[in-house]
């Protein structure tokens, strides 16, 4: 095992001091196999092993001041596959103790020791295997963090409950069922401002190795499956406007600590050259307390739920992938698509846009020749009921959808957003939204905010009813501009539902303080380029209702902050 002096993290988490030392050379071992605890391989197979000391039978795994350490030798050396670590589950009976571990592939001596300060209770310690990948000896020792030991006291202080070979875990997690988890290879330090900085060595190497080489894993599935991720959970002071800062591979990510979930998940794919990264650092402000920070291989087939901001952090898609996708962590029935370019997005969604929203096309399936010269959208949003109507109409009329639309249909059925019943499709809960990597960065931010607000409108009945009530409460005179602009944009303005939905999305796509300028200048100028005759009516409207844009945006901003923790301008936490 390597000398992981950075294991001092345990002292930061559990209290106490830390040191690195070596167990003594192993000179002999008794021949009777140990049964007081299990030692299992990655395939959950029990291994045969013996002890090196003369602990009483049945108490070989109990450490005391009189018997503070023991070592165990496998009858047959065990290979630890890439992506796995050796995990020791330990029950500590008293505060103020330290525990040391050592692994070795040499049957005659143990390796370097990694020590952790502990607290009472159960903790699973994850240990990197020797460089060779083989393990022959496991050693454990207990020592008092303060004062001297009583060499005659046989009271059990530490119980080694099991040794296992488990998928890689790098980091720490408090209070999980079965106790805490902590690994070697991590460290923490406090700053003068009261914040803390956590450092993980070689953070993704083992978990990505597990994702591609472990038994039963299927490598090469692209970004449709999440191989490995950084997971952070936290508590924060009420109303704290605080950011956790994550840095690795030259990339800096800010995570606003305001999510109702109090959880951050960042896929390894976000970090350039993740498998070869030397370190990742996590800077935690004083107002925030980490409950867990770890990197772990994800389960095969596990739903990928993330903050939408992850979409803006991902690197460009390869030419072999049309899109990547995620589920929204706060609204798991919402799927977020990020398409390689506008052409790929159009292939999947353009006809759908005309069927659902376009004036003169709504409710009918347009032929390619009818819409080839017309603009769809640069970003999209659809509730599952509209998706179901689209695919049901095609099925019942025999309309030939293209290959991408059929792939989308089957994808949505597979993800439980649609259900096929005979020749009809039933919309289940949720919605889909999409943006394209062809959009410049500032527009991707705006589009993601705009489309994710649509997703909230579709998925959250409270918000939907609030927005519809806002639209219905506006006078005919105030609605004039909205209907004018949305009509010019080719929306079906006869639908109050659609108007309320688009109104809230346009109001929340920028901070409230920028709303008046956006509507009275940017959008007004866009209209005047094509309709100069509207100059006088637009000026009159601005004088009567110009302040209402910021007022209504502020009302929606307050609603979103109260319900979700984010507000108008950025409806996500990662950036």
- Burial classification of residue 104, based on how many CB atoms lie within 10 Å of its CB (0-12 exposed, 13-18 middle, 19 or more buried): buried
Total number of residues shown for the chain: 575
Residues 298 and 309 in one domain: no
Number of folded domains in the chain? 4
Residues 481 and 453 in one domain: no
Contact yes or no for 552/482 (Cβ under 8 A): no
Q: Strands (DSSP E) along 185-270, which ranges?
A: 186-190, 196-201, 228-236, 243-248, 251-256, 263-267
pTM: 0.84
Residues 298 and 308 in one domain: no
203 in any annotated domain = yes
Residues 501 and 520 in one domain: yes
**Tokens at 302, concatenated:** 């596990």
Residues 105 and 153 in one domain: yes
State the Cα angle at 37 between 32 and 43, rounded to 5°. Answer: 105
250 in any annotated domain = yes
Please give the residue range of the domain that contains residue 48. 5-167
Q: Give Cα 465 distance to the centre of its chain.
A: 30
The pLDDT tens digits for 461-502 are 999 999 999 999 999 999 999 999 999 988 888 899 999 999
Residues 61 and 135 in one domain: yes
Residues 419 and 550 in one domain: no
What is the sign, positive or negative, of the torsion defined by CA atoms of 477, 482, 488, 490? negative
Residues 101 and 243 in one domain: no
102 in any annotated domain = yes
Angstrom distance (rounded) from CA 575 to CA 566? 13
**Tokens at 113, concatenated:** 């020791």
Would the pLDDT of 16 be above 50?
no
Boundary residue ending a domain (132, 167, 202): 167
Would the pLDDT of 233 be above 70?
yes
Residue 224 belongs to domain with CATH number: 2.60.120
The pLDDT tens digits for 340-351 are 999 999 999 999
173 in any annotated domain = no
* Burial 61-73, CB ≥16 within 10 A → b, else e: bbbbbebbbbbbb
The pLDDT tens digits for 209-222 are 776 654 444 433 33
175 in any annotated domain = no
204 in any annotated domain = yes
Angstrom distance (rounded) from CA 137 to CA 303? 38
The pLDDT tens digits for 434-451 are 999 999 999 999 999 999
Angstrom distance (rounded) from CA 313 to CA 310? 5
Of 324 and 177, the structure prediction assigns the larger pLDDT to 324
Residues 269 and 368 in one domain: no
Contact yes or no for 15/117 (Cβ under 8 A): yes
Phi and psi angles of residue 50, each rounded to the nearest 5 degrees, phi first: -130, 170
199 in any annotated domain = yes
110 in any annotated domain = yes
Q: Name the band, by pLDDT with cuts 50, 70 and 90, for residue 14.
A: very low
């Amino acid at each position: 095992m390597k000398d992981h002096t950075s294991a001092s993290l345990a002292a930061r988490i559990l209290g106490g001091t830390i040191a690195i030392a070596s167990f003594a050379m192993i000179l002999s071992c008794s021949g009777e196999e140990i049964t007081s605890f299990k030692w299992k391989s990655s395939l959950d197979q029990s291994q045969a092993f013996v002890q090196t000391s003369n602990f009483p039978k049945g108490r070989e795994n109990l450490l005391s001041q009189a018997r503070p350490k023991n070592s165990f030798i496998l009858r047959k050396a065990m290979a630890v596959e890439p992506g796995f670590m050796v995990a020791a589950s330990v029950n500590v009976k008293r505060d103020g103790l330290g525990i040391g571990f050592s692994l070795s592939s040499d049957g005659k001596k143990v390796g370097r020791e990694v020590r952790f300060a502990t607290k009472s209770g159960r903790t699973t310690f994850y240990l990197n295997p020797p460089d060779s990948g083989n393990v022959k000896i496991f050693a454990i020792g207990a020592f008092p963090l303060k004062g001297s030991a009583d060499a005659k006291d046989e009271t059990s202080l530490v119980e080694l409950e099991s040794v296992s070979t488990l998928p890689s875990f790098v980091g720490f997690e408090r209070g999980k069922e079965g106790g805490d988890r902590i690994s070697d290879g991590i460290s923490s330090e406090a700053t003068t401002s009261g914040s803390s900085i956590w450092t993980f060595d070689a953070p993704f190497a083992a978990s990505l190795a597990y994702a591609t080489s472990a038994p039963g894993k299927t490598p090469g599935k692209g970004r449709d499956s999440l191989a490995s991720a950084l997971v952070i959970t936290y508590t924060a002071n009420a109303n704290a406007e605080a950011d956790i800062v994550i840095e690795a591979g030259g990339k800096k990510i800010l995570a606003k600590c305001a999510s109702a979930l109090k959880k951050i998940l960042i896929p390894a794919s976000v970090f350039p050259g993740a498998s070869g990264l030397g370190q990742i650092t996590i800077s935690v402000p004083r107002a925030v307390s980490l409950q867990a920070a770890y990197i772990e291989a994800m389960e095969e087939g596990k739903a990928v739920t993330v903050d939408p901001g992850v979409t803006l952090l991902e690197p460009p898609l390869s030419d072999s992938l049309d899109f990547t996708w995620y589920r929204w962590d706060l609204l798991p029935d919402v799927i977020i698509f990020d398409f390689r370019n506008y052409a790929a997005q159009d292939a999947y969604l353009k006809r759908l846009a005309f069927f659902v929203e376009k004036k003169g096309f709504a409710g009918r399936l347009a032929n390619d020749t009818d819409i080839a010269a017309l603009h769809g959208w640069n970003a999209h949003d659809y509730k599952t009921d509209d998706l179901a109507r689209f695919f049901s109409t095609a099925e019942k009329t025999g309309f030939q959808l293209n290959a991408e639309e059929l792939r989308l249909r089957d994808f949505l059925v597979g993800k439980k957003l649609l259900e096929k019943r005979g020749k009809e499709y039933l919309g289940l809960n949720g919605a889909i939204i999409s943006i394209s990597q062809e959009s410049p960065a500032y527009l991707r931010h705006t589009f993601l905010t705009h489309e994710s607000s649509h997703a909230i409108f579709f998925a959250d009945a409270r918000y939907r009813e609030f927005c519809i009530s806002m639209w219905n409460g506006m006078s005919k005179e105030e609605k004039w501009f909205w209907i004018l602009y949305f009509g010019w944009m080719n929306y079906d303005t006869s639908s109050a539902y659609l108007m309320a939905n688009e109104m809230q999305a346009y109001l929340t796509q920028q901070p409230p303080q920028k709303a008046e300028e956006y509507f009275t200048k940017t959008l007004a100028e866009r209209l005047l380029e094509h309709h100069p005759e509207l100059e006088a009516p637009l000026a009159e409207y601005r004088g009567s209702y110009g302040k209402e844009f910021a007022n209504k945006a502020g009302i929606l901003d307050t609603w979103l902050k109260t319900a979700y923790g984010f507000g108008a301008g950025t409806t996500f936490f990662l950036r």
